[in-house]
Amino acid sequence: MKPDLFKRSRAVLTAVLAGALCVSAGVAQGAPDVDPKPHQDPMWRMVPKIVKDIDSPIIPDRNYQVTDFGAVGNGETDARPAIMAAVEQASEDGGGRVVLPSGTWLSNGPIHLESNIDLHVSDGAHLLFSPDPADYLPVVRTRWEGTEMYGYSPLIYAADVHDVAITGTGVIDGNEDSEFHTWHDKQEPDQLALRQMGFDGEPLEERQFGEGHFLRPSMIQFFGAERVLLSDYTVNNSPFWINHLVYTDDAVVRGLTVDSHYANNDGVDVDSSTNVLIEDNVFRTGDDSVVVKSGRDLDGRTIGRPSENVVVRDNDMGGEDGIALGSEMSGDIRYVFFTDNVLRSGASVIRFKGNLDRGGTVEHIRVRNMRVESFENLIWFQLDYPGELGGNFPPTYRDIVFSDFIVESANTVFEAHAPDAQPLQDVTLRNIEVKKAETPLIMENVQNLVFDNLTVNNERIDGTMSWQTVPD
């Protein structure tokens, strides 16, 4: 949409809503209470079953103290050889708990986990990673912003594993002095090159981004995993995405404290993963708290692994955006449930992203019982970013319901921009109270947007609206 037309649309919609507020039977001032019985959405019945069906990792109950393998917890001696020796011994024995006791454990390089291993960071333990990127070579197979490649190893990495955990109330620290933190301003040439490779379908073996390149690794990444538990630890100073689940089935992320504020510091990224529970965590992040993704452009569509059956509940969130779906969603996202979360402050409470290179479908999303403090945007769909690489695969977003919110303040309540060829479809806002807002609604190419007891500035909106661009 051209900028001047966008401005006119915004003005018209604001005026239309103002009129609707004045004539609505549900106007708060002096109107009778006409609320129906609470709406029962049958899709929420899926949640108990999803949670119940998530299989927990099975790890033998035996300990491998890293000190028995020569580790010294003085923060200066490299403990990585001892940690990896403990992992290897435990793996040879059929699995167990690799224990970091109280102390500061320097790891000059990544920790690679094996099946049937619990890396236990005890109370008082501080796992500190080295600041030198050279320590995180050779390259490993990974997924970077939705495209597969070979790059610097994540600081904790587990590939093609089953029954794996990271537990304990200690601290996992990416190191505030890490050179990786300076790479955000250097990454664009590599970032664009990788995106082009994925878009063109170049062979994975040719996507090499090791020495001389500047794509930061995730803090913790599971790449092809079954039955994963992440619980209780604190993470800070992450170089990139923090807890990254790629091609992971049956995972629980519980009780974490994520306090990391560098660029692209998402708290949890669920990436082409299924049967995932994220609960009782505290997120203070430099980017989104919880994001659901499924791959980028042709690479994501070809792999074709959706993220589905994801439950996110009882979390305390504070970051740039609270929760997000996309923009890497080319392999589809479906059956995702957010419930009973608290969101503190930031840019957007809920953000859905996509562009014309993506393709993919996001559907059957439910968000309820959210307590929101102060954000610039409550709900924001930006689905029409121009295809950076010339693609014409408009993403599909449909069947999304937001219900039972209490919002203290949001500059804009609902903003949506979708491509002309693929409008946003079938979105409902039900029983939502926004105590203070400047702009109720901005929309472009939306079909069947339902308001069912949306209250903004103490006035009520009900009804159904569609708004589409008229072809020239």
Would you say the C-alpha torsion 25, 339, 366, 442 has a positive or negative sign? positive
Confidence of residue 386 (pLDDT cuts 50, 70, 90): confident
Condensed to tens digits (0 to 9), the pLDDT of residues 333-359 reads: 999 999 999 999 999 999 999 999 999
pLDDT at position 21 over 70: no
Question: How many Å apart are CA 71 and CA 90, to the nearest integer?
Answer: 16
pLDDT at position 320 over 90: no
Question: How many Å apart are CA 17 and CA 466, to the nearest integer?
Answer: 13
How much is the average pLDDT of 235-254?
98
Condensed to tens digits (0 to 9), the pLDDT of residues 30-87 reads: 333 334 445 679 999 999 999 999 999 999 999 999 999 999 999 999 999 999 999 9
How much is the average pLDDT of 439-463?
96
Q: Say what the pLDDT of residue 472 is.
A: 67
Among the four given CATH numbers 3.40.50.300, 1.10.1660.10, 1.10.1200.10, 2.160.20.10, the one describing domain 53-287: 2.160.20.10
Average pLDDT value over all residues in the chain:
92
Q: Say what the pLDDT of residue 385 is.
A: 76
Q: Say what the pLDDT of residue 35 is.
A: 40
Measured CA distances, 457 to 16, 343, 410, 434, 437 (Å): 16, 20, 10, 6, 6
Share of the chain above pLDDT 90, in %: 88
How much is the average pLDDT of 404-409?
98
Residue 361 near residue 326 (C-beta atoms within 8 A): no
Q: Say what the pLDDT of residue 383 is.
A: 94
Question: How many Å apart are CA 428 and CA 406, to the nearest integer?
Answer: 16
335 backbone φψ class: left, alpha, beta (φ>0; ψ -120 to 50): left
Confidence of residue 317 (pLDDT cuts 50, 70, 90): very high
pTM of the model: 0.93
Q: Say what the pLDDT of residue 39 is.
A: 62
Give me the torsion for CA of 10, 14, 17, 19, rounded to 10°.
-130
Would you say the C-alpha torsion 398, 223, 179, 317 has a positive or negative sign? positive
List the beta bridge partners of residue 350: 323, 379
How much is the average pLDDT of 274-300?
97
Q: Say what the pLDDT of residue 132 is.
A: 98
Residues of the chain with CATH 2.160.20.10: 53-287
Confidence of residue 29 (pLDDT cuts 50, 70, 90): very low
Q: Say what the pLDDT of residue 57 is.
A: 98
